[in-house]
Amino acid sequence: MHKSSWNFFIVVELLLMIWALYQMLSNLPIFFLAIFALFNVAYVIKKQYRTSFNHFQSIVSLIVLALCSLSIPAVWIMLVVAVLFVGLKGVEVSGISLFENTPWSKKQMIIVKTTASESKAGKRFKRPLIGTQRFGNDTYEWDDINITAFSGDTIVDLGNTLLPKDQNVIIVRKGFGKTRILVPTGIGIMLEHTTMMGEVTFEDSHLRLKNEAVKMYSQEYDVANRKLKILTNTLFGDIEVIRV
């Protein structure tokens, strides 16, 4: 795992280096100035006996070469990527949880209960994109759940809920974070999950997806009186469907 991350870093830096060379070739004055500075440095290195002027020549040439490099935007991107990668690797090795208390690491707990039917006309509500959210303060009529969040963990608990017969739907759209859905036994489940990168735990199956989509059914789905469709779409994050 560590080796693959270093390989990825080297490939990214090489691609940025090629881009930097292209940008330098597009700016001929900087390109020729850099070539001249390199020629001077090589000339001084090859000399067997160096004078004080040669030392001055090499220092000025290195400064000119550095200024030419820093005038290329791709070089700055290379430096930023290197600093971020080395910094994150250092945090990983030290075991420090850098993002433990950040807003997007907060968990979202949704506990679902039901009550008598109410009028559905004109219902309007807001949900936060980041942070803790409770879906229903005490009890409420079952309605299909549609969740949109930027980041954070989300838990949907259907353990105390008697779902209506036929089809029920939960839709989750999220940027980053884990999603966990607790479903009572006896309910047929269809899970359709799309992600850039993440893991899926469903029944006895455990899958790792990379820019893929998967559609899975529980064993009793076709014969169950009550069915639940779970449609999830995340950029980076895992999903777990757990029986309770």
Domain-by-domain residue ranges, the chain? 2-94, 103-243
pLDDT given for residue 105 in this prediction: 53
Q: Which amino acid is at 138?
A: D
> Residue 192 above 90 pLDDT?
yes
Instruction: Work out the pLDDT band at 230, boundaries 50, 70, 90.
Output: very high
pTM, two decimal places: 0.49
102-138: pLDDT as tens digits? 554 555 565 555 555 454 444 555 555 555 444 434 4
Average pLDDT over residues 28-47: 85
What's the pLDDT score for residue 140? 45
